Amino acid sequence: MIINKKTIVCLKYLLLFFFVSMLLPFVFFKMPRSGLDGSWNIAINLAHKYDLVFGKEFVFNYGPLGILHSRLPIAVNIFVYIFFDLYCLITVLSILNRILKIHFDPGTLLFVFLILILAMHNLEDQWYYFYFLFYVFALIKEPPGVVSIVQAALLSLISFYFKMNSGIVTILVFIACISYLFARKKLDLKIYLGILSLYLLVFGLSNRLLHVDLPGYVIGSLHLIDGHNDAMFLELDGTKKLLITAVLINGILFAWFLYRLVVLIRNRALIKELDEPLIYTVTGLSIFMLFKSAFVRADISHISQFFQGIGLLAGLLYLYSPRKYESKSVAVCCWGILVLSYWALGESGTYYQPLLQLKDFSFISTKIHDVKNYFDGIKKYPDALAASDKLYTQDNALKKIIGNKTVDVISEDISKIYFNGLHYNPRPVIQSYIAYDDYLDNLNYQKYLSPGAPDYILFTLGEQDRRFAFFDEPKTKIAILTRYRIAGEIGDDLLLRKKATNANQSVWERTDTVIARLNEDIPIGEDSDLQYSRLMVKYSGWGKLRRMIYQPPELRITFTLEDDETKTFKAIRPILEEGVPVNKYVVDNDDFRLLMQSDGRRNMRIKKIRLVTDSVQGGFVPVFQMVTAHYRFNQKTAEERIADSLGIVAMTNTYNRYQPLAIDAGLFQPDSFMIGIDNFQKYSQLIRIEGWAFRKNSDNENYILKVVLRSVNNIFELPTENFPRTDLAALFQRKDLAAPGFKALVSKTLLPPGVYQVGILICDKSTQKRWVSYETYQQLDISSDNLPPLHLP
């Protein structure tokens, strides 16, 4: 059957329309939400609202165009989102049109279709980066055209202001690319200098337009990128086969690059065909970046980004590799990568399953729904923006206290500021867990000691990834102790208020240095001051290599408290190197409040620390230097001392509300449960026990949980709160786990001295039956000499 030219043209346009429609945005805007990720998304938009300078007043992985990721109805005109969406669609249309014009064959069309299905839900910054690579490779392989030069330059700048992880690469690659074209005499000197001058001019003007302090933006982002590697790595949990698949894909690509390099060298064509190795070099760098971003924090959501994005890079390899004798070889490589990526996403259990979308053609209905949702979003955006603005005129409990004063949040939940319509005045590194090193922490420290420090801080000592929260922003916490006082509690937060007059700068006294070893105890002196120690642990050669190509080796810190209880946390090497407070055990808001109001005298003392690795040669140099400086708390006025004493007494009285209830052992029968104790805090005056439990062979729908303590002479039921745990319901595949989580609190002063065993009591609300199970290893020793006093001495 002969297909005429007109039919082919119509078919091309139909396919072009179909492919472009698959890449239409699936949502026009997102609603603000609370939590860690929701908060930094809100913060990017609030930075625009308050005209903060990126790189100076706001330091984060995302830049001013990070709003294209957050897409919130906060301080962004509707036409900004519409403009960038139209620009993306025009860019996609241009790219696909060029591909179909040159490669209109069944194999290429099917390959493009499968890649688009795979990458349909890619992150926005990955799409911008891919568009950039397409035009850069077009510049290298084809005669340089105005469209390719303009698009490559523009996309490099958008990527730079979108997210620095890939943005700094786009800037360097673009400058290297046009310099290469000049060196290869594809651009004459005048055009080269004209392009470079205009590019740098637009770069400088865009810095001013987007409120960017360029040195701070670049340096701060590089510190964030480097520190993320040390601090945020997450070990594989049941995903090793996905790692093996990713390594296999990388191996296929590396083998192809190596093969082509050998062929070029053997044919003495390396210099003549230098375009090809250059494309492979940039592609290899891009693959490495994609792999690192996916497998440093190796959870399913990050890993899936590798398999969604690798298809796009394989597509570039397919388009820009030799098309004569090597076409079959490169096709086999690229199709192999595509098959492996589809399989991996199917195995990952992520929400997006491209293979299922293909099997039942649900990608069509999904995309129709996405398009409808997108245009509905355009209609609803003005109302959402108005509702956002209205938050700043509404009254609430926080605003009654803070009013129009400025406020910041520690550790990360910035959404509280937005939802309460408060005036945001952040420290530069906006969330505690990402102040990875001395440079970043010092930015926050200087902010809190400056005249522009926020009037209030909503403070919560929040833990991230099993880290010791008191070590996050260690220097900034000195600024807090110096500059702020406790004004009260609101919900789960301490409210800290800036002192009316500038306090004296923090006072550092004597220093001492010792040589210590990993996996050995280090004694900590008894001192009322805060002891800040710089633990200068270094990676070994193996550790540096592992950190560079995958994840760093894990380092942990174990504290031995003064009552000989031990606690172990994940340790972050650059934070340890900066200097951390090692002599006070502070893990929650109550501990931090005691630190501020008693100058550390009432906090649990740490008497030994130990830095722990998996083995003596576990990626670190076994010997390290420990340099300790002593921070002396500022002198308080008589009025401040009285207020602090009253605050401690009030906190103690609050503890005493948690009354244990003496119960009769004959009211319940022994049983065996599934039990997990997530937190057993017994070092302070308030005992806290958190975890979960359920009866394995029973319907738990109508059960409630209580924590009990049993000694030789007494059994006490503790005040216990039950709450849902959706993770457990999914893990154990049980629909009857309505509220298997529990949290119990009791004041140590209200329990008679003795050795207590922790137990869980399950009560059936329908039949009133009760069962108890005791945890063999969870014990609490309360002796008369370790009962804390009710009042300050």
pLDDT recorded at residue 659: 84
pLDDT in tens, 454-473: 999 999 988 788 899 999 99
Q: Which residues contact 541 (CB under 8 A, 6 or more apart)?
A: none
Q: Which residue has the tokens 């004209």?
A: 194
β-strands 623-632, 604-612 pairing: unpaired
Task: Supply angle C-alpha 517, 518, 521, rounded to 5.
Answer: 75
Rounded-to-integer distance, Cα 310 and Cα 340, Å = 10
Of residues 101 and 545, more confidence is placed in 545
* 129-185 residue pLDDT tens: 999 999 999 999 888 889 999 999 999 999 999 998 889 999 999 999 999 999 999
pLDDT in tens, 516-529: 999 999 999 887 78
- The share of the chain scoring above pLDDT 90, in percent, equals 46
Per-residue DSSP letters for 171-229?
Answer: HHHHHHHHHHHHHTTSS-HHHHHHHHHHHHHHHHHHHHHTTB-HHHHHHHHHHHHHHHH
pLDDT at 323: 62
Instruction: Name every residue whose Cβ is closer than 8 Å to that of residue 638 and which is 6 or more positions away in sequence.
Output: none
Which tokens sit at 468? 């010791």
For the segment 290-316, the average pLDDT, to the nearest whole number, is 88
* Domain chopping of the chain, boundaries: 232-359, 397-498, 507-635, 661-786
CA distances from 603 to 507, 527, 596, 597, 646 (A): 20, 11, 10, 10, 17
Contact 611, 560 (CB under 8 A): no
pLDDT tens-digit profile of 572-612?
A: 999 999 999 999 999 888 889 989 998 888 888 999 999 99
Q: Class assignment of domain 661-786?
A: mainly beta
Averaged pLDDT for residues 254-268: 88
Average pLDDT over residues 57-79: 94
According to the model, what pLDDT value does residue 793 have? 27
Average pLDDT over residues 94-104: 84
Output the six-digit token pair for 772: 């108890």
Nearest to 159 by CA among 68, 248, 90, 242: 68
Using alpha carbons, select from 377, 429, 540 the residue that is nearest to residue 29.
377
The band of 791, judged by pLDDT with boundaries at 50, 70 and 90, is very low
Residue 136 is predicted with a pLDDT of 94
Say how far apart CA 661 and CA 718 lie, in whole Å.
6
Q: What is the pLDDT of the chain when averaged over all its residues?
A: 87
Residue 2 confidence (pLDDT) above 70: no
CATH of span 507-635: 2.60.120
Average pLDDT over residues 492-499: 91
Which two tokens mark 564? 């000989």
Per-residue pLDDT of 218-248, as tens digits, reads: 999 999 999 999 999 888 776 788 999 999 9
pTM: 0.86
Q: Is the dihedral of CA 224, 225, 226, 228 positive or negative?
A: positive
Pairwise CA distance, residues 137 & 155, whole Å: 13
CA nearest neighbour of 156 among 115, 197, 123, 202: 202
Taking only the tens place, the pLDDT of each residue in 612-646 is: 998 655 789 999 999 998 888 888 888 888 888 88
User: Cβ of 523: how many Cβ atoms within 10 Å?
Assistant: 10
Strand partners, 569: 557
Intra-chain end-to-end CA distance of the chain, in Å: 100
Which position has the token pair 């994005």?
309
C-alpha to C-alpha distance for 320 and 256, rounded to whole angstroms: 13
pLDDT above 80 for 731: no
Q: Tell me what pLDDT residue 502 has.
A: 64
Residue with tokens 């523009």: 154
Question: 3-class SS at 597?
Answer: helix
Mean pLDDT of 654-680: 83
On the question of pLDDT at 790 being above 50, the answer is no
Q: Is the pLDDT of residue 33 over 50?
A: yes
Q: 441 phi and psi, to 5 degrees?
A: -65, -35
